[in-house]
Amino acid sequence: MRFEAQAIMALMMPWPRRMCTSPTRTRVYPSSGFEAGRSRIDPTSDGRGSTAGSISAKHTLTAAIEQHPRRAFALFCALHALVWTALPSVLYANLPLDLIEALTYGREWQIGYDKLPPLPWWMVEIVHRLIGFDTAYYALAQLAVIGAFALVWCTARPLVGEIGALVAVLIIDGLHYFHFTAAKFNHDVIQLPLWALAGYSFHAALRRGRVLHWLLLGFALGLALWAKYFVVVLALPLALFLVFDREARKHLVTPGPWIALAVALVVMMPHLVWLWNSDFLPFAYAERRAAPSRGMIDHLVHPFVFALGQFLFLLPSLLIAALLIWPRRSPPDRRAAKAPPLPYRGSSADGFDRRVVTLLAFGPAATVIALSALSGRGAIAMWGYPLWLFLGLWMVLRVPTAIEAARFARIVAAWSAVFAIFALVFIANYSFLPLIDQRYRAPFFPGDRLADELARRFRAATGYPLAYVIGTMWEGGNVGHYAREHPRVLIDGDPRRAPWIDVGDLRSKGAVVVWTCAENARNKCNIDTTVVPIAFRGIGADAQVQAPFALPFRHGDMVLIVGWAILRPSPTFSMRYGKDLGLYSRLQ
């Protein structure tokens, strides 16, 4: 174990030393010699971090973490990434919707799409081309999570020391956003490191005044727009803080904030131009997602429901954080009294640091709630992904005294229990629960078998390889990803959702139209497999319906009923292109 820790440490050491260098300031940071990554050893110790005599396992743990806090953090990150990469790799037989969507959109390399910005879809496509197997997508999600943890740790370290920084990260890891739901790499997950970078650079820029940190802030905010438009609820409170905080306002007369603004605009500009030219097309998707206001009562109900949902999600984190102050006094333990002191002996943060951390911890969430209250529109619970990155640091800053060894051991034990429970629930949800509750689960969808069957039958019927598929994002995207030919997807049969598709080329090469329904003893299928669904008739009106077939799900008792049709290749289609577009327009 010692060898493994040293090996991981060798890999991880360069970035904490560079990124987390304490700023040059007049006040003194936590005094335990943590600047060099080591702390004082109790005079009764034997030189290896163990006190004279026999000490308990928990004190051995805390002593080891005290001696090597960076190594402890690196091991935490390695464990987190390993577990939450391995679990979906083993239990997901089929890629989830978010990754199917990413692979469908990402391959087209557009500046913008009809739903969301392109950054995570580009990243998934890059991983697909470089590596190409499913585990890599789950590892990508964990890289984003670990990157966020590292930046939070770097923000916390100068303020509360390395032990305090580790506790801050353990607290926020109680949120399912960082593991259970993060397996599905998407726009929410990629926000995590970008928002963490914005928070780190904002605090560092205000404290140190270096141009580098203002540049990083602008880059983080600019790139965050390419991840999700939700970045506005981060940028707005940061801007208001610069205007209204008496100490932060001094920076407005320096070049720093304006450099950050300029960098952010430069990074955003290509996508902003696309948004303007597309008449802000993706905002229609956001409009559909947010529940509309039905009257004055929704100005109260919708923000309350969002806040309540976030509170419930935060309960495991609050349980871990509660051990910072409860029990008020550790039970007397003579052996604990001899244990080496922990590096964190209380916060070195001043009032301005605390105001900045409070802003980062609560500003974006308060902005979401305020916007919901003003508009009366609902906010989606999963929008909370990046809102609580600095909540753990805020909680550690509220502790007036040092985190003694026994208390720290309890915090580690509580985090371990929460971490294990989430992992066990994940395993249960994708192993034996499907046999009990008989619910539909996307990771058991027979996407590879569906793709193979449709590609094989299309080739047998036409003599051509399958080049296009017409279907929903889920069904069409599965065929597009898993079929050997990797056909392109006309999403929902609507050229407006996939303007990169040349309809003339689609008609000349032919396509498969696919629609499905899942059924078991409790859920009966209600689709008509004898006619092409109305939504697909704009392009596939003359598609020839084929005999349906059934495929078993990869796990459980679900069966997939497949309706499909062949749009035969028509090399002479260019002469009829205008006629078909006219038919499509009338059907819309």
Cβ pair 493, 511 in contact under 8 A: no
| Cβ neighbour number for residue 330 with a 10 Å cutoff | 14
Q: Across-strand partners of 488?
A: 468
Question: Total structural domains in the chain?
Answer: 2
444: Cβ contacts below 8 Å, ≥ 6 apart = 93, 94, 434, 553, 554, 555, 556, 558
Q: Which residue has the tokens 């919708």?
A: 302
Residue 336 is predicted with a pLDDT of 47
When mean pLDDT is compared across 169-183, 270-284, 424-438, 501-515, the lowest value belongs to 424-438
The pLDDT tens digits for 491-530 are: 999 999 999 999 999 999 999 999 999 887 677 888 888 9
CA distances in angstroms from 374 to 157, 233, 301, 370, listed in the order given: 37, 14, 12, 6
Whether 401 and 512 map to the same domain: the answer is no
- pLDDT of 414 > 50? The answer is yes
Give the C-alpha separation, 54 to 335, whole Å. Answer: 8
- pLDDT of 57 > 70? The answer is no
* Burial of 286 (C-beta count, 10 Å sphere; 0-12/13-18/19+): middle
Could you tell me if residue 29 is inside a domain?
no
DSSP assignment of 245-273, as one string?
A: -TTGGGGGGSSHHHHHHHHHHHHHHHHHH
Could you tell me if residue 64 is inside a domain?
no
| Cβ neighbour number for residue 331 with a 10 Å cutoff | 7
3-state secondary structure of 564: strand
pTM of the model: 0.86
Could you tell me if residue 44 is inside a domain?
no
Residue 63 is predicted with a pLDDT of 73
Whether 303 and 168 map to the same domain: the answer is yes
Average pLDDT over residues 264-275: 97
- pLDDT of 289 > 50? The answer is yes
Q: Which residue has the tokens 């920084």?
A: 165
Q: How many residues does the chain have?
A: 588
Could you tell me if residue 367 is inside a domain?
yes
Whether 148 and 284 map to the same domain: the answer is yes
DSSP assignment of 187-203, as one string?
A: HHHHHHHHHHHHHHHHH
The pLDDT tens digits for 124-167 are: 999 999 998 999 999 999 999 999 999 999 999 999 999 999 99
What is the distance in angstroms between the CA of the first residue and the CA of the last residue of the chain? 64
Residue 329 is predicted with a pLDDT of 61
Give the C-alpha separation, 262 to 276, whole Å. Answer: 19
Residue 449 in tokens: 């078998």
Residue 64 in tokens: 């080891």
* Burial of 362 (C-beta count, 10 Å sphere; 0-12/13-18/19+): middle
Phi/psi of residue 129, nearest 5 degrees: -75, -35
Residue 566 in tokens: 């062949």
Whether 323 and 373 map to the same domain: the answer is yes
Residue 40 is predicted with a pLDDT of 29
548: Cβ contacts below 8 Å, ≥ 6 apart = 529, 561, 562, 563, 564
Q: Across-strand partners of 51?
A: 45
Whether 103 and 191 map to the same domain: the answer is yes
Domain end among 399, 426, 453: 426
Whether 453 and 414 map to the same domain: the answer is no
Mean pLDDT of the chain: 86
Domain end among 426, 459, 480: 426
Could you tell me if residue 247 is inside a domain?
yes
Cβ pair 250, 296 in contact under 8 A: no
Give the C-alpha separation, 16 to 85, whole Å. Answer: 23
Domain end among 374, 396, 426: 426
Whether 176 and 90 map to the same domain: the answer is yes
Could you tell me if residue 234 is inside a domain?
yes
The pLDDT tens digits for 345-401 are: 556 788 999 999 999 999 999 999 999 999 999 999 999 999 999 999 999 999 877
Residue 539 is predicted with a pLDDT of 87
* R_g over Cα of the chain: 27
The pLDDT tens digits for 243-257 are: 999 999 999 999 999
Could you tell me if residue 22 is inside a domain?
no
Domain that holds residue 450: 442-587
Among the listed residues 340, 390, 409, 12, the one whose alpha carbon sits nearest the alpha carbon of residue 234: 390
Whether 148 and 202 map to the same domain: the answer is yes
Residue 267 in tokens: 């990074």
- pLDDT of 13 > 50? The answer is no
Among the listed residues 460, 382, 353, 22, the one whose alpha carbon sits nearest the alpha carbon of residue 192: 382
Whether 381 and 504 map to the same domain: the answer is no
pLDDT band at 438 (very low <50, low <70, confident <90, very high): confident
Whether 372 and 465 map to the same domain: the answer is no
Could you tell me if residue 332 is inside a domain?
yes
Whether 482 and 412 map to the same domain: the answer is no
Whether 369 and 220 map to the same domain: the answer is yes
pLDDT band at 454 (very low <50, low <70, confident <90, very high): very high
Give the C-alpha separation, 115 to 118, whole Å. Answer: 9
Cβ pair 344, 161 in contact under 8 A: yes
